[in-house]
Amino acid sequence: MTTELIKISGLMQNFDDFVRAGELLREGKVVAIPTETVYGLAANAFDPNAIEKIFKAKGRPSDNPLIVHISDFSDLSKLVSEIPESAITLAENFWPGALTMIMKKSDKVPDEVTAGLSTVAIRFPSHKYARAIIDAAGVPLAAPSANLSGKPSPTSADHVFRDMKGRIPMIIDGGDCEIGLESTVIDLTGDIPTLLRPGGVTLKQLRSVLGEVAVNPKILEEVSDDEKVASPGMKYKHYAPSAPVTIIDGSSESFANYVKNNINGRKVAILCFEEEKELFADADITVVSYGKLLDGVSLAHSLFGALRQFDEISPDIIFAREPETTDGIELAVVNRLSRAAGFSRISV
Ligand code: TXA
Ligand code: MG
């Protein structure tokens, strides 16, 4: 299959391309689309055959459900069997945006989308091209992140092209994703709203409008093989470069000393803060920085692109630095990096 990569300059300039993307989606094809979080691999949420093509293109385990994307709040009533009060509050404050809400599904949502669960994940993205494509398709779009399963989520059309070339007919290139990591996932089906995946909308923001929000402990812990999880995505290794990643906790100086004393003849690369780069000026180590220590927004924006760079460097091992865990965007950065590292962490 040839994969067409379409660079968008504007809604009007590329009007025909949006119409074509909509046609492909209505025909049951898969189209990669930009969103404000990461790129998505979209298909008609009501078409089980189209949904199967997403799982195939990604190599995704069929027990990991997809998020359904809408372009108007009114689309929600078709997809869920009841709308909790908390969903209305969250929608008023954070939709359109980087928030995914889990609710009880309606009969119209095929089991292929929800991996057989009785609940469905819904997001109303803010990205104007994502919304234009949903409008052009005329149906809600199920879309996971547009990476091969296990790889870091794509934050540019180039990332998508590398993973999906030959696997899907069309990629819509809307430039770099503003946030750079995935949406926040909150479960609204229990008594207390529960955070299942930290993301673009922070825990602090959620608590500021809902009051009590529980945090699923598996956000920052490894899940054992036989454990039951609230969100199937928690079970899988994610966001990982090919080389093993180990997170190093401690001061910048002890980090630099540890790395320099543990090269052991290996090709070593590090993922660090901007401020730490100079500590390695004299060492035979590949240095990738992903933002400033105290600027969580920049770290979130650049993390996945930085993780992808390591697959071109092909080191034997990657030592990585993470920010302090807070109720801000840093929680999402630590969650993604912990998974990329398979929870391997050393304190120095
Ligand atoms: O920002 C995003 O959320 C991006 C863009 C494309 O919208 N999408 C995304 O999708 O990250 P994906 O499939 O890579 O991650 C969806 C996560 C998975 O961890 C999945 O297990 C969880 O949401 N999920 C989906 N439906 C669920 C449900 N009914 N109950 C619990 N977890 C669910
Ligand atoms: Mg994903």
Task: CATH number of the domain at 305, please.
Answer: 3.40.50.11030
What mean pLDDT is predicted for residues 296-301? Answer: 98
**pLDDT of the residue at 225:** 79
Residues 208 and 256 in one domain: no
The neighbour count for residue 195, using CB atoms within 10 Å, is 22
Statement: residue 239 has pLDDT above 90: no
Residues 102 and 13 in one domain: yes
Q: Give domain status of residue 225, yes or no.
A: no
Would 240 be classed as within a structural domain? no
User: Does residue 237 form part of some domain?
Assistant: no
pLDDT at 325 over 90: yes
pLDDT value at residue 238: 76
Q: Are residues 127 and 175 in the same domain?
A: yes
- 317 assigned to some structural domain: yes
Mean pLDDT of 178-197: 98
In a domain, 273, yes or no: yes
Number of domains in the chain: 2
Whether residues 214 and 249 fall in one domain: no
| DSSP secondary structure, 89-109, as one string | HHHHHH-SSSEEEEEEBPTTS
Q: Are residues 131 and 60 in the same domain?
A: yes
Residue nearest to atom 10 of ligand 1 (CA): 144
pLDDT of 53 above 90: yes
SS3 state of residue 311: helix
> What is the pLDDT averaged over residues 26-51?
98
Of 227 and 100, the one with more pLDDT: 100
Tell me the pLDDT of the chain averaged across its residues: 96
Instruction: Please give the average per-residue pLDDT across 137-165, as a whole number.
Output: 97
Q: Whose CA is nearest to atom 24 of ligand 1?
A: 65
Strand ranges (E), 130-225: 141-142, 170-173, 184-187, 194-197, 214-215
Query: Does residue 226 fall inside a structural domain?
Result: no
Atom of ligand 1 nearest to the CA of 105: 29
Domain encompassing residue 271: 245-347
The letter for the amino acid at 228 is: K
Counting from 1 in the atom list of ligand 1, the atom nearest the Cα of 125 is 7
10 and 83 belong to one structural domain: yes
Residue 30 tokens, joined:
């898969």
**pLDDT for res 4:** 98
Q: Whose CA is nearest to atom 12 of ligand 1?
A: 144
Who contacts 6 (Cβ-Cβ below 8 Å, separation ≥6)? 14, 17, 21, 170, 171, 172, 173
One domain for residues 194 and 63 = yes
Question: Rounded to the nearest 10 degrees, what angle do helices 330-340 and 296-313 cross at?
Answer: 20
